[in-house]
Amino acid sequence: MEPSMKEKIMKHSIRLFESKGFSEASIQDIVNTLGVTKGTFYYYFSSKEELLTQIQLNYIDYMLEEQQRIIEQPDRTWKDKLSEVILMTIQAIEDRGSSARIFFRELLHITGDSLDLIKKKRDQFRLNVQSIIEQGMESGEFRDDLPAEMVAFSILGACNWCYTWFKPDGSKSDTEVAAVYTEMFLNGLKL
Amino acid sequence: MEPSMKEKIMKHSIRLFESKGFSEASIQDIVNTLGVTKGTFYYYFSSKEELLTQIQLNYIDYMLEEQQRIIEQPDRTWKDKLSEVILMTIQAIEDRGSSARIFFRELLHITGDSLDLIKKKRDQFRLNVQSIIEQGMESGEFRDDLPAEMVAFSILGACNWCYTWFKPDGSKSDTEVAAVYTEMFLNGLKL
């Protein structure tokens, strides 16, 4: 299926926001890259801020859906689910790395209810990881002498940081990076 | 000792860049918060970009010096040195969190030789962590079946991510967070 005009505007804006910055990229720049008029832009978005909000909601909704799919699988250990969430987070970089990088850079341009909604969804993603860890602690798969909240922050932090350096076409694949990270988090570095 | 005018300009700009964004904060805004003229600004900095570069160099030079001090301590295990670098990175948030957040957000406003220099120094910080891990692997403190480069990325990623959520006045202290992180990285989550 052909992408809709709305999808095209979002896709081209992501590239433009990443290369030029949100403040520097004007609506005129966006419509110029697509060969359409400002009228077309305003048919879909009331402002550049609304476009940025939509880009971020698209990204976080995709991440939450994928995570939910992993969590709901029957007959999997909590260790397996944690390891799949780690892999999913790193795999998303190829398709959605730009959205993630824009998010952290341009967060201060999203305000009010939009910001609250995006923050709530991002918190939900983290709390779901925390819940995997808590349930793994209860089931006896994971040690329960560490605070699950901090463990979730450390794992998600390491994975999210991949957005700053991981190159999908580099010497390590997303699967290899995820395997090393999972092994580190589960069994540690000490001999 | 009283801070110099140059230091004052840097300190106030960090706050302004963090709250308003680098593109949105003008040199006029900066000098207004200090009650000085643009002439004073240009006596110390040729442009807003040069000011941003100086802020980043100050931050990364401080981090490299602290790291070097830790690495050069005699009679410490590699495990101890790794754990001290983790603590130092999280402790730096209180004093220097704004500089770090600005760095990742405003990186695209630094170009050319300045960007190369800052990237080189940041890489050096990461390579020093990698070297601690490699030497710990050689000495038999750490397992040597994981790629040291990936291990360094995962540890630094988790620590750097703290800049996005850690509040120095929150319920967990920097020492507590660092202790949980170190324990995770060394011994893992699995029972």
Given a contact cutoff of 8 angstroms between Cβ atoms, the answer to whether A152 and B156 are in contact is no
- What counts of helices (H) and strands (E) characterise chain B? 8, 0
DSSP class of B191: -
Please compute the mean of the pLDDT values over residues B186-190 and round it to a whole number: 95
Given a contact cutoff of 8 angstroms between Cβ atoms, the answer to whether A178 and A83 are in contact is yes
Q: Is A139 on the interface with B (CB under 8 A)?
A: no
Q: Which CATH number fits domain B48-187: 1.10.40.50, 3.40.50.20, 3.40.50.970, 1.10.357.10?
A: 1.10.357.10
Topology of B1-45 in CATH?
Answer: Arc Repressor Mutant, subunit A (1.10.10)
ipTM: 0.90
Given a contact cutoff of 8 angstroms between Cβ atoms, the answer to whether A161 and B160 are in contact is yes
Residues 60-119 of A with CB under 8 A from B: 79, 104-106, 108-109
Q: Which of A105, A136, A162 sits opposite B157 (nearest CB)?
A: A162
Task: Name residues whose C-beta falls within 8 Å of residue B93's C-beta, 6 or more positions apart in sequence.
Answer: B100, B162, B163, B166, B168, B174
Q: Which of A157, A172, A189 sits opposite B161 (nearest CB)?
A: A157
Q: Would you say residue B104 has pLDDT above 80?
A: no
> What is the least distance, in Å, from the CA of A7 to any CA of chain B?
25
**What stretches of A50-178 adopt beta strand conformation (E)?**
none
**Quick one: what percent of chain A has pLDDT higher than 90?**
80
The residues spanned by each domain of chain A are: 1-45, 48-187
Helix (H/G/I), strand (E/B), else coil: A60: helix
Q: What are the pLDDT digits (tens) for A2-40?
A: 789 999 999 999 999 998 889 899 999 999 999 999 999
Q: Do A24 and B21 touch (CB under 8 A)?
A: no
Q: What are the pLDDT digits (tens) for B32-45?
A: 999 999 999 999 99
Given a contact cutoff of 8 angstroms between Cβ atoms, the answer to whether A183 and B147 are in contact is no
* CA–CA gap between residue A159 and residue B158 (Å, rounded): 8
**Quick one: what percent of chain A has pLDDT higher than 70?**
100
Given a contact cutoff of 8 angstroms between Cβ atoms, the answer to whether A150 and B177 are in contact is yes
* CA–CA gap between residue A83 and residue A70 (Å, rounded): 10
Given a contact cutoff of 8 angstroms between Cβ atoms, the answer to whether B135 and A191 are in contact is no
